Chain A
C-alpha cells in the first residue's frame, strides 16, 4: 500500500463516518449523502474506494452522482440502497422489490428486521412460469 493511502483504520477513526469491523474482518460502512467533508482528502479517497468497489460489482460509472450534487442518497451509479449495507442494481431492484409496498414495511418494521427482510427476498432469480410447488417437491 502506498504511503498516505486510505486504510480502514483511517476511515474508522475519521469523525462522522460510521464503520464497524466484525471479528471475521468484514467491514460495514454506513454511507450518507451530504457530509460536509466532500472536498476533503479523506472524503475523495472514500469516494474512490467505493467507486472501484461498485464498478467491480457491475455498477456503471456514468450514472454516478458526485457527492454534494444534491442527488438522492438512495441512488448511486445505477444502484439503489434498499437498506443500510444492501445495495442492488436498478434492474435487480425491479425484479426483487417491484410491486411490493416496501415503504410500508420500512416505516413499520424495526430497522434490523427490515434489513433482515429485504436482504433475502428474491435473492435468487426466477421466471414467470416457475411453479414453486413443483420445484419444492422431493424428486424421484
Chain B
C-alpha cells in the first residue's frame, strides 16, 4: 500500500495520496468531505470520491461513519443551497449559522429534497447489503472524547477534525479524507496504527 506519496510516522501512522488502484484496508472511516463529495458533482475531487467509494462497495468493505460526519454533510448541502439561491460561489459568498437561520425557510423551500442526500445514499447502501456502522459506541466514546483535545492541541486541528481522527484511530484501519491538514499527523507521535488516505483529483 505504501507509495512514493506516502509518509510514515514513527508509530506507523501512514499518510497516502490516493491514486486509482490503491488497495484500501478495511474497516474504513469516511470523513464528511468524502461522503458529501460523492453526492455533489463537478468539483475537483468528485471522480476520485466516486471511484474510491465504488471500490469500497465492490469489495464489500466495512464502512464506518459518525453522527459528526452526517452533521457536516448537512451543513455542506445547506451551505451549497444558500450559494445556489444567491447565485454566488466562494470566495464571493459567505455563510454563517446566523445566515442559515435567516435563510432556512427559503433553503428548504427551494432545495428541501436534497438536504438529506447523504443519509439517503447510506440508507440505500445498507439496504443493498453494505456493512455500515456508526461510531463511536459506548465502548470507545470516552477514549475518543479524551483523545480529541490532545489532537486539537498537538496538531492544531479544529475540534471536529480532531474528533474524526480520534474516531478513526479507535475504530478503523483506514481514514479516508479530502482534507490535507491531516498530513501533520505524520510529524507527531501517536499510539496505534492508522492509514490516512488522502483523496486527490484523479
The proximity string for B residues 122-162 relative to A, scoring 1 for CB distances below 8 Å and 0 otherwise, is 00110111100000000000000000000000000010100
B76 → A minimal CB distance (Å): 4
List residues of chain A with CB within 8 A of the CB of B76.
132, 135-136
Q: A140 contacts the other chain (Cβ, under 8 Å)?
A: yes
Residues of A90-134 at the interface with B, using a CB-CB cut-off of 8 Å, are: 95-96, 99-101, 105, 108-110, 112-113, 115-117, 119-134
B184 → A minimal CB distance (Å): 15
Q: B96 contacts the other chain (Cβ, under 8 Å)?
A: yes
Q: Are A124 and B114 in contact (CB under 8 A)?
A: yes
List residues of chain B with CB within 8 A of the CB of A134.
90
Q: Are A127 and B117 in contact (CB under 8 A)?
A: no
A92 → B minimal CB distance (Å): 9
> Pick the contact of B40 from A130, A133, A139 — CB < 8 Å?
A130
A135 → B minimal CB distance (Å): 4
Q: A41 contacts the other chain (Cβ, under 8 Å)?
A: no
Interface of chain A, main secondary structure: loop
30 A-B pairs, CB-CB below 8 angstroms? A95-B41, A96-B41, A100-B51, A109-B57, A109-B58, A110-B128, A112-B127, A112-B128, A116-B121, A116-B125, A116-B130, A120-B117, A120-B120, A120-B124, A121-B50, A122-B41, A123-B39, A124-B39, A126-B43, A127-B43, A130-B40, A132-B43, A132-B178, A133-B33, A135-B76, A135-B80, A136-B72, A136-B76, A138-B72, A140-B96
Q: Which residues of B pack against A, CB within 8 Å?
A: 31-33, 36-47, 50-51, 53-54, 57-58, 71-73, 75-77, 79-80, 89-90, 95-97, 99-100, 114, 117, 120-121, 124-125, 127-130, 158, 160, 178-179
